[in-house]
Structure formats: C-alpha cells, structure tokens
Structure 1
Amino acid sequence: MNQSRRARLALATVIPFLAGANAALYDTVIETQYGGLQGYPAFTSEPAGNLTHWKDITVWKNIPFAATTGGQNRWKAPQPVSAWNGTRDAKSYGNVCPSATSGGSEYTIDEDCLNLNIWSPANSTDAKLPVVMWSYPAESTAADALFDGGGMADQGIVYVNYNYRTGSFGWMSHPELSEEFYEVTGSNSSGNWGMLDQFSALKWIHENIAAFGGDPEHITAMGQSAGSAATQHIVNSPLTKGLIVGGIIESGVRDPHDPLCTSLAENYKTLDYSLAQGERFMASLNCTSIAEMREVAMEDLIVSGGTFGSDSEWDFTATLDYYAIPDTYMNTLLKGLAQDVPLITGNTKDESGATYGLDISVAEYLADMNETFSGPWLSRFLELYPGNTSQTASGAYNSQWTDRSKVGTWLWSQLWATAKTSPVYTYIWDHAPPGQNQGAYHESEINYVLNNLYGTDLPWTTEDYVIARKMNGYWANFIKTGNPNGKRLTEWPAATSNSTVQHVGDGWGQIPAAPDAKVKLFEEWFDSLVAY
C-alpha cells in the first residue's frame, strides 16, 4: 500500500466526519451534473439503538442513475439519464423494478426503476468520507426498511443502495439481443442486464458521490445473497476495474467445486443455455422478434424462477458471457482476474440447506445424503455425520450443511490467495433475531451489520443492540480501512492456511471451520467434482 493511500485511510479512521464544521447537507441544495437535489433529515427524532450522530444524517431518495429500462430500452445496457430542470425533491423512494414478488400497494412497480438512495452524515460536500454501495438480495427492493442506511451513516460513512433489474427483465438472453450487443460492445453475448445495472450504479457513485460528501476513490461494494453475487461480480469484472477498494460478500462465495454454486445466488448459466431459454420464453409469449417482445406488457414478463428451490420452468440468472463475467469462478481465482482488494465473506448458521428446528426421520436423512454423496463418499460422510435417531439425524443433516458452508468459504479464501495478496476475512453468524422461529436464518445478520434495528418491528432486546454495535463496528472499520479490527472488538485475523473462521453473533473470536477430519473430507470431495 503506498504512503498516500495509507494516509487517506488513517484520516478516514481518525476523523470519521467533519461534525459541526458546517450545517447538515439537508440545509442546502446539492448541485449535480444532472440538476439540483433537495435532501431531508434521515431522522426527525432520535431512533432506538446506538446512533449518536443521527441529527447530522441527510438522505436523498429516488435519484435516477440511468434512463428507463422500458420500451426500446428493454434488454439493453443502462442508458444515460437525462438532466432535469430546477431542483429535484428527493424525499420519497422511487419506483422499484418488476419481479415475481414485488407486488402490492407499498411500492410503485415500473420499468423506469434505476434509481438510488444516499445517506450521508457529512456536514460539508468536501468531507471525502468512505463510501459503501449496498446490493440487496433476491426478491427485494432498495426501499425495504431492512436496507436503511442511517445506522451505517452514523459511523461516518456515505451509504448508497439502489434498484436493479431481475427476472426476465434482468437476465434474458436471445440471439437478436446478442447481435445488438455486439454492435455496441464487440461482445457477441447477451443476458446480464441486471449486472450491467449494478456496474452502472457503481460508476454513477464514482462520478457523483463527492457532491454528497463521499470519497469517489474509497468505495466498498457490499451485498447479501443475490447482492453478494453482485458484489462478487463487481470484484471480478474488468468493467469495474479500479472503482472499489474492498468488497463485503455476505452469504455468497464457496469452493467453486461445490455443486451449490450452480443453484444458489451466485449461480450462472452458459451462454448457450441462456440463449435457448430466451428463445423458449419468446415462443411462450407468441412473439417472433425482440421488437415484438419490447411491446409486450410489463406484467406479462413477470415470471417466477431463478431462486434457490424454485420449481419454475424459467431460470433467469447470470450468464457466463466472458464480457461482464470474465471467466469461470475457478479460472478467475487461479488466473487472478479479480481486483486485488480486501474482502469480508461468510455465512449464517441456518441457511444453504441447514434448517433450524428440523425434524426428519433416519430414512429421510439417509435418502438425502445418498442423493448428495454417491458411491464411496456416502459411507465416509455418514461416518463423520452419523444419524441413528430422528434427533441425531436432524442434527447431523444440519451440521453437514453448515460445515459445508464454513469449509467451502475457507477453501475459497485459499484459492483467492493463489494469485492475490489482499486479505480475506471469513465469518459464521449464529445469532437468532428475536420474535421468529427460523434461527440464524438467511438475511438474519443484515439488521445488525447495518445497525438499523430501529427500522424493523422485531422485539429487539438489549442484547440485540449490543450485538448490532459490534457487528456494525467490524463492518464500518473494514469500509474505512480494509480491516475489520478496532479497539474494543475481539481480534479478527484474516484467513490463513489454518482452517478457522470468525464466530460472530452469540460469540466472538476464531473457531475451527470444522474438525480436521471433516475439513479434509470436504476438501477431498470437492476436489473430485467439476469446478464451476
């Protein structure tokens, strides 16, 4: 790390933001290259929890970062946004992008949906605060209270979230679209429209965030589940090179040999698969050309599919196009194609196959294990994960899934280290939020890392606020310096050849990813499989 970069990081840590230097930014109109923006106080009264600078936080909502994706812009890369006259009122959330589950009166659903929201604690447009870009999980929107940025902004960080296309709108390929795309980019591919939205939002942030008190040279990409896939693609893609200083990938990466890579959030399909699906999808709508497809009503293009466990005939997801995605995950790791930046990545205890409160019979356990671990592998896994009663079978079933996540993420960190020098910090989250019966479920850490318990209605306890302060402290430190460690926090070492992981939630500190025999078994099993 060069001396000037070190100095900038140190400054960001020592002087989180220029409190009191000037009035809060909601007291002025922010001038951008597109026009003026009027922001608002993020809080009108003190929120419950740990926030200490809440009076300084400004929020701007519904800022367009690209033009509408409807009409002739449907299934095209994001197009430039037009300037507006006068001052744009940024008080309310904008439209959300169409998807299978984003209905209801709470949101306005429209293809004119590429907008973002900014929370900034800066008291000056010259503050140059560290910036984090949040990408949401599947079937969500930037307007969801779970992704409110006030808690992160309280740490002296400019927080941005945004909307992007999903479903058929975000991931449909077709030969005609590939021809169009080739004329613009020289890449004979199509399908990653949602990913290009994500890249476009990052580029907008880089070009404009200084006006909101952010440092365009200090942006961390962050997301969970499908949003963690977005972050992984931002880290990997040549189209975002030099735009970020770090990445936080929650419930995302795993050993590329793991078959779960083909079905969980980070999955992608070959271009041939995606093109064939696009042709089938067009035929299902009785259309014969992309021109006709661009005339189809938005509602008729909303289909389910592309999420874990879906039984839909449609599987709209990312495409391995060798343009936005440079190569397979394995090749990207081994060839060092990704940006060499520090990373945080990890999992929750009760996700990716593990189910809190599971109650299965021994027969069901054996059937499921036999389906996953065929041939000689079955006996080896049953020896280390025995289940002779319903209780032990349920426990063994969950244990092997959770161990698979922890070991797979640690193995990913070792592959990363073959060509990169930046550290990877891995974790396992095991705290179950109150008022629910799913344990430490998928997404359960989000409220805590963003420290926004005030925005959701679970029956939070004093313990939850303490945990949120610690989790948010780790994440905020990383966003500021590329290292999660700081005073009063339990030491979190970067991943090494020792197969350990940071325990966060109901305990703090390093623990084994799994006993040595189980680590060795998973490593050998993964090595026997085809890499993704």
Structure 2
Amino acid sequence: MNQSRRARLALVSLIPFLAGANAALYDTVIETQYGRLQGYPAFTSEPTGNLTHWKDITVWKNIPFAATTGGQNRWRAPQPASAWNGTRDAKSFGNVCPSATSGTSEYTIDEDCLNLNIWSPANSTDAKLPVVMWSYPALSTAADALFDGGGMADQGIVYVNYNYRTGSFGWLAHPELSEEFYAVTGSNSSGNWGMLDQIGALKWIHENIAAFGGDPEHITVMGQSAGSAATQHIVNSPLTKGLIVGGIIESGVRDPHDPLCTSLAEGYKTLDYALAQGERFMASLNCTSIAEMRELPMDDLIVSGGTFGSDSEWDFAATLDYYVMPDTYLNTLIKGLGNDVPIITGNTKDESGATYGLNITVAEYLADLNETFSEPWLSRFLELYPGNTSLTASGAYNSQWTDRSKVGTWLWARLWATAKTSPVYTYFWDHAPPGQDQGAYHESEINYVLNNLYDTDLAWTAEDYVIARRMNGYWANFIKTGNPNGKQLIEWAATASNSTVQHVGNGWGAIPVASDAKVQLFEEWFDTLVAY
C-alpha cells in the first residue's frame, strides 16, 4: 500500500460521525437521483448490549438498486432501477429473491427482489463515513435478523446489505444467453447473473451512498460462506477496479489445490459445464428456447442444488467466464488480477468437515481417510493424526479437517502475496454461541462480528457481549483503516512469512497455524493436486 493511501485510510478513523448538532437523518427526507426517501430510527429503545450511539442510527429498507429480474429481464444483467414519484417510505424490508429462502412464508418471494437496506449513524449527508457492503450466505436474505446493521453502524460506519439472485435464476448459462450477452458486452459467456447483481449493488452504493452520509471512495466488501464467495469475486473482478478499499472473506478461501474448492461455497464451474447443464435444464422443463423459459412461472424454476452437501441433479454455481471472473483462482492469485486491497479471512472451528460432538469408530475414521488419501499420503496423515481408539478417532478426524482449513487459508495468503502488496489478516474462531449443540459452527461468528446480539434470540451471557465488542472492534477498525488493530485490542499481525493465525473467540492473539510437520504435510500434498 502506498504512503498516500495509508495516510488517507488512517485519517478516516478520525472523522467524527456525530456532525455537530445536526439531527439524525431519519428527521429529514433524503434526496437521491431516483427520488426522495424517508428513513426511520433503527432503534426505538435502547438495545440490549453495548451500543453507545443507537439514538443516531437511521435505517432505510427496500431501496431498489435495479429493476425487476422477472419477465424479459430474467437471465439478464441487472437493469437500471426506475425513479419514483413523491417520497418513498423505507420502513419495511422488500421482496427476497426466489430460491434464497424457498418454502418459507416469512418473506415475500418475487423476482422483483434487487433491493438493499442501509444503516447509517451520520447526522449529516456530507459526513463521508466509511462504508461496508455485506453479502449474505446461501439460502438466506438481507432481511434476516442475523445480518442487522445497527451494531456496525454504532461504530461510525454506513452498513449496507442487499439481495441477489441464486439457484437457476442466478447461475443459469445457455448458448442463447451467451449470444445475448455477447451482443451487449463482447463476452461470449453467460451464467453469472447473481455475481452481476452483487457488482450492481456495489456500483449503486458507489454512486448513491454519499446521500446517506457515506464515503463512496471508501467501501469495504464483506460476507460469509456464499457471501464470502461473493466478496472474493468482487475483490477479483475487473468490473470492480477502483471501487473498493478492502475485503472481508469469512469462511471462504483456501489453497486452490485443495479439492474442497470445488464443493464448498467458493466453488465454480467451467463455462462448458454450465452451458451443458443449462441445455439439460431447459429440456427438463419442456422448453425449446430462452423466450419460452422467460414465460414460465417463477415457481417452475425453483430447484435445489448448488449448496454444500446437496444431492440434487442440478448444480447451479458461479461460472468461470473470463469476463466477471477473470481466471482460475490460482491464476488470479499469482497473476495479481484482482484489486490490491487489504483482506481479512479465516475459519471457524466446527465447519468444512469438522463436526462438534462427533462420535465415530476407528473403522469409520480409517474408511474416511482411505477415501481421501492414497499412499504414501495416507500413512503420513495417520502418523500425524492418529486415531487408534474410539476415544481418539473423532478428535483426529476433526483435527485434520480444522488444520486443513487453517493451513489452506494461510497458503492462500502466501499466494496472494506473490503479486499483491496489501496485507492479509487471517483468523480462527472457536467460540460456541449459547443455547445450541453445534459448537463454533459455520456462521457462528456473524452475530459477534456485526455486534447485533440484540436482534437474535439466544441466551447471551456477559462473556458473549465482551467477545462481540472485541470482534466488532477488529472488523470496524479494518473497515475504517485497512488494519484491524486499535486501542484495547490484542495485536493482530498480518499473515506474511510467519505461520501464525489470530485466535479469536475463546482466546485472543497469535497461535501457530498448525505444527511445522502438519503445515509441511498439507503443503506437500496440495502440491501434488490439480489447482482450481
């Protein structure tokens, strides 16, 4: 990072977000290029927890950042939103996209779903506060209370979350669609409609967030699981050049040689695969053209598939199109094709193969390792992860999965450094939220990172509030300055040549990624595999 950028980022943390005696923004009507907006107080009473500026936070919900994706806009890049007359009431969440939360009556599901929500603590539209854009995980929606932005806004940050297409709506590729896309972009490809939604939301934020007290030149992108994949693609895409200053990728990157890259949230398909699947999908619906497909009812296109563990015949996922996605993960890293911005990334203890409370036999453990590793790797892994009794088999099983995530993420950071100068900060989360039996499960850090324990009905303890304040402090500092460190926080060193990861949750500070022998084993094994 050059000196001028570093100085500018440092100054952002000093900007006071309580601008004089001006009223909170919910006391005024916001003027946008599309029309006027009326926001509301994010809190009508003091929330439980440790928010100190809750009275100043305004929320605007259901702001369209693009037109409906139904009808003739189905399987097209997001089209411009229409202006509205009068003042738009922004009190309630809007529609959510089909296949995001299929089967629930809690939300209104509709293809007119490209809307976003903004939480801002600004007391003036010219506050120029740092901005963060949150991308949610699979089978979710921006309206989920888990992603409430009040806790992050309390730190003097404008927080935005949004909806995007998934399933067949977000990832269908087809030769006809490629022809249409080529006519518009010059790229003979299709399939990344959800990714284009994600980038469309970012561009809307860049063009409009100043009206809500945000700084359009200081946007960090952030997400977890499928949302971390969205964040990774935004960081890497040539379509976002110069639009972001940082990325937070929670549970989402690993060494491109790791076979898990093909099946977890960051997985993608080749264009040939996606096109062939699209033709099979069309045939399964008894359609012969995209025009007919665009006439189908929305419900006919909602199918399962594309999520970890799914056994569906459909596998809708991101497509390597060499347009939105510039190259394979490995080539993108070593060629430095993405935005050179600081990164936070890491994993939770009980995810990506590791299971809290696991109880397997020695035979089951050996069968799993035999399926994963061939010789000589099998013997080497059994030597370092011995599971010789029923008491040790479950622990050894979980340990090799957890270490695989930690080592893979560390190796990703090293690959990033081959062509980038911005730092990568890696973490390992191991705190189990109360009232559940899945341990430090996938997604378990989100409430703490966003400091929104007030909006989730769990039996939070005093310890949980302390952890949330620390976690949120690291993340907020990073969003403001590109560095997670700050007062009253244990030093978090950037991952470079050292082999440590920041322990967060039940402990704080640098810990080894794994033993030297285990790091070496994973590194050598990955080197024998085909890169993704």
What is the TM-score normalised by the length of structure 1?
Answer: 0.99
Q: CA deviation at 1:391?
A: 2.0
**How far 1:106 sits from its partner (Å)?**
1.3
Instruction: List per-residue Cα deviations over 1:202-226 (Å, max 9, x = no partner).
Output: 0000000000000000000000000
Gaps of 5+ in 1: none
Contact 2:220 2:247 in 1 (8 A): yes
Task: Answer whether contact 1:385 1:397 (CA < 8 A) is retained.
Answer: yes
For the Cα contact (< 8 Å) 1:173–1:191, is it kept in 2? yes
Q: SS state of the match for residue 414, structure 1?
A: helix
Cα distance in 2 between the residues matched to 1:270 and 1:359: 38
Shift of 1:232: 0.3
Deviation at 1:102, TM superposition (A): 3.1
Structure 2 distance, partners of 1:180, 1:24, is 46
The 2-side partners of 1:406 and 1:49 are apart by 31
Q: How does 1:325-344 map to 2 (within 5 A)?
A: 325-344=325-344
Shift of 1:13: 1.2
**SS of aligned partner of 1:101:** coil
Shift of 1:18: 2.4
RMSD: 0.9
The DSSP-based 3-state class of the residue aligned with 2:524 is: helix
1 CA distance for matches of 2:104 and 2:312? 22
Kept after mapping to 2: 8 A contact 1:152/1:451: yes
SS in 2 for 1:60: strand
1:248/1:345 contact within 8 Å kept: yes
Q: How big is the shift at 1:7?
A: 4.5
1:16 CA displacement: 4.0
Deviations 1:346-395 (A, max 9, x none): 00000000000001111111110011111211010001000011221100
Deviation string 1:411-458 (CA, Å, 9 cap, x unpaired) is 000000000000000000000000000000000000000000000001
- Counterpart in 2 of 1:516? 516
The CA deviation at 1:496 is 1.8
Aligned equivalents of 1:523, 1:289: Cα separation in 2? 47
Corresponding residue for 1:52?
A: 52
How many angstroms apart in 2 are the aligned matches of 1:265 and 1:5?
32
Give the drift of 1:240: 0.5
- Aligned with 2:295: secondary structure? coil
Structure-to-structure mapping, 1:208-357, within 5 angstroms: 208-357=208-357
Q: Deviations over 1:100-120 (max 9, x none)?
A: 643322100000000000000
Deviations 1:285-325 (A, max 9, x none): 10010000001110111000101111000000000000000
1:3 positional shift: 5.8
Deviations 1:476-503 (A, max 9, x none): 0000000000010000000021211000
Q: Deviations over 1:41-86 (max 9, x none)?
A: 0000000001000000000000000000000000000001110001
Is contact 2:354–2:397 with CA below 8 Å preserved after alignment? yes
Taking the aligned partners of 2:387 and 2:3, their CA distance within structure 1 comes to: 56
Q: Match for residue 20 of structure 1?
A: 20
**Conserved in 1, the CA contact under 8 Å of 2:100 and 2:138?**
no
**Identity among equivalent pairs (%):** 90
The range that moved more, 383-392 or 119-128, is 383-392
Mapped partners of 2:441, 2:474: distance in 1: 20
Cα distance in 2, alignment partners of residues 218 and 16 from structure 1: 15
| Cα contact 1:95–1:109 (8 A) shared by 2 | yes
Does the CA contact (< 8 Å) of 1:69 and 1:113 recur in 2?
yes
Distance 1:366 1:2, change over 3 A: closer
Asked if structure 1 preserves the Cα contact closer than 8 Å seen for 2:340 and 2:422, the reply is yes
Alignment of 1:42 with 2:53, yes or no, is: no
Residue 100 and residue 124 in structure 1: after superposition, are their counterparts in 2 closer, same or farther (change >3 A)?
Answer: closer
- Matched residues, number: 532
1:145-189: per-residue Cα shift (whole Å, max 9, x none)?
000000000000000000000000000000000000000000000
More off after superposition, 465-474 vs 367-376: 367-376
3-state DSSP of counterpart to 1:14: coil
Q: By how many angstroms is 1:19 displaced?
A: 4.5
